[in-house]
Amino acid sequence: MDPDEALARLRRMVEEDLTDRAWSADTAAADDRCQTYAVQFQAVDNWLTNGGFLPADWRKGSTRPVDMSAYTAQEGATDE
């Protein structure tokens, strides 16, 4: 498992979902999308839990700018 690739894929998926908002009414497509999120999250979680290194963007000193407005503006978003 490459945590950098998994993180990049999750970020692309989230960005697409937040900007497109064109969710398919096709239940199978939605199920596939949810399964992909779950698999990517589980891969990163297992990797980190078992002592794997952080993805490059999560390492101390990362210079990647983070725009949280897309996440905090979501309906029902909380700081919990």
pLDDT digits (tens, 9 = 90+) for 35-80: 888 888 888 888 988 999 888 888 877 666 666 565 554 444 444 4
Query: Is 62 part of a structural domain of the chain?
Result: no
pLDDT at residue 77, rounded to an integer? 46
Query: Is 13 part of a structural domain of the chain?
Result: yes
Query: Is 66 part of a structural domain of the chain?
Result: no
Task: Give 39's DSSP letter.
Answer: H
Class of residue 50 by CB neighbours under 10 A (exposed 0-12, middle 13-18, buried 19+):
exposed
The pLDDT of residue 13 is above 70: yes
| Nearest partner of 12 among 31, 43, 42, 33, judged by Cα | 33
Query: Is 37 part of a structural domain of the chain?
Result: yes
What's the domain count of the chain? Answer: 1
Q: How far is CA 4 from the centre of its chain?
A: 11
The pLDDT of residue 4 is above 50: yes
pTM: 0.51
Q: Which domain holds residue 20?
A: 3-55
Query: Is 79 part of a structural domain of the chain?
Result: no
Rounded CA separation 35/29 (Å):
10
Query: Is 40 part of a structural domain of the chain?
Result: yes
Query: Is 28 part of a structural domain of the chain?
Result: yes
